[in-house]
């Protein structure tokens, strides 16, 4: 710690950051870690370097519930360019013009084509992806000239709205599940119309209940950290768990749960998840699972008060 500088307050919670283009998701995490001087910082849901928009940065205990944030529905605004293909399926790759003309394409045709991709579909990930095949990220093999085709994965696309068609660019809004590659969707739209296509630009406009309208720029995060008001901008830890039922524990049971012991204060359903609060303080203390054989709630993640998370 620099001489004369006070230690920062340990935080647990979620920052809704507007990631700019040109940075990796890890770059954003590294910057937040440096500015907050916190040891535990992570993110929920990677954005490619050329993409921008909502990136949820988890601080402290929130790193332990990031999987709940990643499960949330994602919303994107994408610009798909027809008439060319890319080695990476986006603008970062080597672009090759297609021999097929795009002059005949109409907005009505493209709307009809997008409807083929709605619902639960099989999607082949891009060859430049972070997915590991035989322990090796696909993008490393592709960069070495040995591209690997991953097996198709089942994803869900709930909605595709055509915003505009100005040949050769189609702007769409997409609502989809975790794991959906919008780069792959752009590629497959191009295949479907026979002209080729790639993802020209991408903005994540929402992740779960977190929207781009409510996000913070990196400059705002840095300024808040320097001036000491960042805690006021952090969403509480349980914002990641808002879809789960809540349990309220009396004082005599809080310490028991924090020690990892089963709580039998209320009946539940086998395997059910719930968030547990200390009734006196309202503080989230654990994520619990109902164990039918023990007729009680077992804490599978406990969240003691943090006092030592600042580097």
Q: Which residue has the tokens 């580097």?
A: 311
Cα–Cα dist 297/86, whole Å: 51
To the nearest whole percent, how much of the chain has pLDDT over 90?
Answer: 75
Q: What is the CATH number of domain 74-207?
A: 3.30.2350.10
Cα–Cα dist 105/292, whole Å: 58
Asked if pLDDT for residue 5 goes beyond 70, the answer is no
Please report which confidence band the pLDDT of residue 85 belongs to, taking 50, 70 and 90 as the band edges: very high
Range(s) within the chain of domains with CATH label 3.30.2350.10? 13-71+211-239, 74-207
As annotated, the active-site residues are 48
To the nearest whole percent, how much of the chain has pLDDT over 70?
Answer: 87
CA-nearest of 236, 220, 240 to 282 is 236
Range(s) within the chain of domains with CATH label 2.30.130.10? 244-302
Cβ pair 50, 186 in contact under 8 A: no
3-state secondary structure of 44: strand
Whole-structure pTM value = 0.88
Asked if pLDDT for residue 297 goes beyond 60, the answer is yes
Asked if pLDDT for residue 141 goes beyond 60, the answer is no
Say whether the peptide bond before residue 168 is cis (omega within 30 degrees of 0). yes
Asked if pLDDT for residue 44 goes beyond 60, the answer is yes
Cα–Cα dist 194/198, whole Å: 13
Fold of the domain built from segment(s) 244-302: 2.30.130
3-state secondary structure of 43: strand
Quick: pLDDT tens for 195-238: 999 999 999 999 999 999 999 999 999 999 999 999 999 999 99
The mean predicted confidence, pLDDT, of the chain is: 89
Cα–Cα dist 24/157, whole Å: 25
- 44 Cα distance to chain centroid: 4
Cβ pair 221, 35 in contact under 8 A: yes
- Architecture (CATH level 2) of domain 13-71+211-239: 2-Layer Sandwich (3.30)
């Amino acid at each position: 710690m620099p001489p004369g500088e006070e230690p920062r307050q340990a935080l647990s919670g979620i920052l809704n950051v507007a990631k700019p283009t040109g940075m990796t998701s890890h770059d954003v995490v590294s910057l937040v870690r440096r500015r907050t001087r916190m040891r535990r910082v992570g993110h929920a849901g990677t954005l490619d370097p050329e993409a921008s928009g909502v990136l949820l940065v988890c601080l402290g205990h929130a790193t332990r519930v990031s999987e709940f944030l990643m499960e949330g529905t994602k919303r994107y605004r994408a610009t798909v360019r027809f008439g060319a293909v890319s080695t990476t399926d986006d603008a970062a790759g080597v672009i090759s013009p297609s021999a097929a003309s795009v002059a005949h394409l109409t907005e009505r045709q493209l709307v009809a084509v997008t409807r083929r991709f709605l619902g639960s579909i099989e999607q082949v990930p891009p060859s430049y992806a972070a997915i590991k095949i035989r322990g090796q990220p696909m993008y490393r093999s592709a960069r070495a000239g040995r591209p690997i085709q991953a097996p198709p994965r089942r994803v869900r696309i709930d909605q595709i709205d055509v915003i505009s068609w100005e040949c050769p660019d189609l702007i769409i809004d997409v609502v989809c599940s975790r794991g959906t590659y919008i780069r792959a969707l752009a590629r497959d739209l191009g295949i479907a119309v026979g002209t080729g296509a790639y993802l020209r630009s991408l903005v994540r406009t929402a992740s779960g209940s977190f929207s781009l309208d409510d996000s913070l720029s990196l400059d705002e995060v840095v300024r808040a950290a320097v001036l000491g008001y960042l805690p006021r901008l952090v969403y509480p830890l349980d914002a990641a768990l808002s879809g789960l039922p809540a349990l309220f524990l009396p004082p005599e049971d809080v310490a028991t749960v924090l020690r990892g012991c089963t709580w039998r204060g209320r009946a539940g359903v086998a395997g059910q998840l719930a968030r547990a609060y200390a009734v006196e303080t309202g503080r989230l203390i654990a994520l619990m699972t109902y164990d039918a054989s023990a007729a009680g709630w077992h804490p599978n993640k406990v969240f003691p008060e943090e006092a030592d998370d600042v580097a």
